[in-house]
Structure 1
Amino acid sequence: MNIIEDLRARDLINQMTDDEGLENHLNESRVTLYCGFDPTADSLHIGHLLPILMLKRFQEAGHRPIALVGGGTGLIGDPSGRNEERQLNEENVVQEWVKNIEDQLSRFIDFTDDQKGAKVVNNYDWLSKMSIIDLLRDVGKHFSVNYMLAKDSVESRIENGISYTEFTYMLLQSLDFLRLNQEEDVSLQIGGSDQWGNITAGLELIRRTSQEGEEVKAYGLTVPLITKADGSKFGKTAGGAIWLDEKKTSPYEFYQFWVNADDRDVVKFLKSFTFLPLEEIDELAKEVEERPEQRVAQRRLAEEMTKMVHGEEALNQAQRITHALFNGDIKELTKEEVEVGFKDVPTFELEESEKGLIDLLVEANISSSKRQAREDISNGAIYINDERQQDLKYFIDENDRIDDAFTIIRRGKKKYFLIKHV
């Protein structure tokens, strides 16, 4: 199975230019391709994973990927897929974000020093040196306004307005493709489905600037927009975006995102995001149909994704936290694991070495009053480190501390509270 056949089998192709020509091109030679990533934040998120993993798939198939980090275009703003103008960020901030993104990309793509190997490029290196006259004469003259207005990224913004800054973004991305085509022998650009207009504009620029009679080998391919069966946006949770930076989204949270995948989505996610053989994915699909309550496919998905993005050690930690929370083994967690697993629960700092449970429940706002605290304890609603406590005279002391740092109190089935000993 060649790369295009594999991508089709995984439903990873949204659009292609010259389907047969591109497939033959990939079968006949080692192709250099690129995908761009604009630094719009200090980290990439899982919405970027699909194009990143596409570069990885092509590399594993023997082709040469180039990851373009848009230090230049990131200062302008891509109107694609947006209903409103992007906020412009300061140049020094964007360039700092560029470094972060380059580091994150290196987790997935094997960048080497070999001239023939994969590489990262920053379009700030050439766009910042270009004058407005050069841009208008060498690029702008090849595009009519009517052509640009017809692109979805522009047309969809006309009614609400689009600045000239974002209107010209298409020219800059087209120039990137042309430059990489000329200097790095890039013949394929890939991207998300919202990039189709920008990609085809780049192909148009390459065609228009080629010598008469010269054979032009340049192609475009986009991946589909990932959607969730329940209608919610992929990559978003109640806490916000799922980031690739472990400081913004912990490996445990990352693991939980995938392990909580809907039964209707999990097979699609396995095909799109993992490198598991299709035969294995078919077997996991049977598990979903026959034993959905065991969530075998979800756990496999979460394992593969967490290990790929954060590494084996982070996966092990995420699994330990998950096991502890769902099997009542909270006392086995380390201080660091408690901080990760309970970072979003209400926290109360306790200075005393010991404290009456009733008083602590009230002071930490776990129970609304001493009367309510007594009722909660008597009714068996209070758990200390996942062990039920019904003694009204109970004192929290050093024996209740996890790693000499925390005590976890649960009220009812799901309301957790973190007591931090200071």
Structure 2
Amino acid sequence: MSNIYDILVERGFIEQATHEDEIRELLDKESVTFYVGFDPTGDSLHVGHFVQVMVMMHMQKAGHKPIALVGGGTAKIGDPSGRSDIRKMLTEEQLDKNVRGLTNQLSKYLNLDRENGYAVNNKDWLDDLKYIEFIRDIGKHFSVNRMLTAECFKSRLEKGLSFLEFNYMLLQSYDFLELNKRYGCKLEMGGNDQWSNIIAGVDLVRREEQKQVYGLTFKLLTTSEGKKMGKTESGAVWVDPDKTSPFELYQYLRNIDDADVENTLAMLTFLPMEEVRRLGNLEGSEINKAKEILAFEFTKIVHGEEEAMNAQKAAKALFSGGNDMTNIPSTEMEKAKFEDGIGLLALMTELGLTASNGEARRLVKQGGVSVNDEKITDFKKEITLEDFVDNKLLIKKGKKKYHQVIVK
């Protein structure tokens, strides 16, 4: 299977396409310039963004040219897609800092040397737009009735959609038109929440330039329960190592649910799909090997092989009782206490990890408790001698608090 479109479908990326057969044929016969937009609401990418980055890397490996557009212009308005409230407005200085941060990160993963790919900021053409001319020349192509049926505006209409936000679709469509004129861009790609904006851009280029261009959307990275991945109780899982360390990133992937392993391996690594399917089908404790491979491969993509190896070593040392365990609080307990089992909630409270069983229960429900590196979802779990490895048990509370139980 050599067609990049088929590869993206097989790996579970693609959700919608404006012209599926034509896009597949186009990607097969020529080097296509395509773009993906990134909203600079922060100065770092997070794990959720990495679906777009992985698609761009797959596309560039197949000989296509990415345009990484960071929206320093459109962010002054804020994308209403998927939101029920208006976005917080950032200052020009904040936006410029965020644009630099995202562009620097994207340049690590993509070749944006202006020959094989481009990094652009739509502030360069949006800041100088003349409003009357823009509304006359571009606004005439947009039906207000049709815009109001767009998914990206529906949730905002309930609380009140500002005229400021209503302009967003026009500006994102204008980006596609501008990139088509400047770079010959023929394809816009984005998350599935961008579908209305993407088809509006395809339509605008056709009306203004009489050219056929295309759009497609990716599935968001979600758990088997439909929740967005890349969030923890303490916030987003960032690409910036100062915000989320390589070890924390590794541990986040290492602790995902069994049901999410195959999908995440397909979307966040370059492992062949035969290997992805093999690892995803492992059962019982074997699935932990698949999670370790996932965590290592993704950390390697984000931070490089050395940092991935360091993260893996630290995780193994933490679990096996290596040198890194010296600073972790430990409690020695009698084996007899665990022969009939002791409730996890009671154990956590006895060890001083929580003030009460109620607090421990809430933590488990929020996904904030792991035992021997396995996230616990059942607050009724009983800890028995079978849970111990070499007479040791490691309980993790939240992101950074560990406690080791040693039986004698």
Give yes or no for TM over 0.5.
yes
Deviation of 1:232 (Å): 4.0
Q: 1:135 to 1:101 in 2, by over 3 A?
A: same
For normalisation by structure 2, the TM-score amounts to 0.79
Deviation of 1:331 (Å): 4.8
**In the alignment, what sits opposite 1:67?**
68
In 2: Cα distance, 1:258 partner to 1:188 partner: 31
**In the alignment, what sits opposite 1:210?**
209
Q: 1:95 to 1:330 in 2, by over 3 A?
A: same
In 2: Cα distance, 1:120 partner to 1:110 partner: 9
In 1: Cα distance, 2:286 partner to 2:171 partner: 50
Please list, as runs of the form range in 1=range in 2, the aligned pairs for 1:23-422 lying within 5 A after superposition. Answer: 23-112=24-113, 115-211=114-210, 216-286=211-281, 288-289=282-283, 291-293=284-286, 295-331=288-324, 414=396, 416=401
Contact 1:44 1:244 in 2 (8 A): yes
Contact 1:366 1:411 in 2 (8 A): no
What letter matches 2:234 in structure 1?
A: G
Deviation of 1:320 (Å): 2.2
**Deviations for 1:343-379, whole angstroms, at most 9, x for unmatched residues?**
xx9xxxxxxxxxxxxxxxxxxx9999xxxxxxxxxxx
What letter matches 1:246 in structure 2?
A: P
Q: 1:322 to 1:417 in 2, by over 3 A?
A: closer
Deviation of 1:304 (Å): 0.7
Deviation of 1:159 (Å): 1.4
Q: 1:196 to 1:417 in 2, by over 3 A?
A: closer
Specify the structure having the higher radius of gyration (Cα): 1
What letter matches 2:29 in structure 1?
A: E
Q: 1:322 to 1:217 in 2, by over 3 A?
A: same
Deviation of 1:282 (Å): 2.1
**Could you list the runs of 5+ residues in structure 2 that have no partner in the other structure?**
330-351, 356-391, 404-408
Q: 1:138 to 1:313 in 2, by over 3 A?
A: same
In 2: Cα distance, 1:40 partner to 1:261 partner: 27
Deviation of 1:90 (Å): 0.4
Contact 2:266 2:276 in 1 (8 A): yes
What letter matches 1:283 in structure 2?
A: R
Secondary structure at 1:106's aligned position in 2? helix
Secondary structure at 1:186's aligned position in 2? coil
What letter matches 2:46 in structure 1?
A: H
Q: 1:157 to 1:329 in 2, by over 3 A?
A: same
What letter matches 1:45 in structure 2?
A: H
What letter matches 1:254 in structure 2?
A: L
Q: 1:367 to 1:257 in 2, by over 3 A?
A: closer
Secondary structure at 2:300's aligned position in 1? helix
Contact 2:111 2:117 in 1 (8 A): yes
Deviation of 1:207 (Å): 1.2
Secondary structure at 2:88's aligned position in 1? coil
**Deviations for 1:274-295, whole angstroms, at most 9, x for unmatched residues?**
1111111122123x23x44451
**In the alignment, what sits opposite 1:357?**
none
Q: 1:151 to 1:296 in 2, by over 3 A?
A: same
Q: 1:320 to 1:411 in 2, by over 3 A?
A: closer
Contact 1:324 1:332 in 2 (8 A): yes
Contact 2:280 2:287 in 1 (8 A): no
Q: 1:199 to 1:279 in 2, by over 3 A?
A: same
Contact 1:263 1:292 in 2 (8 A): no
**In the alignment, what sits opposite 2:341?**
none
Deviation of 1:11 (Å): 1.6
Equivalent residues, number: 341
What letter matches 2:192 in structure 1?
A: S
What letter matches 2:165 in structure 1?
A: E
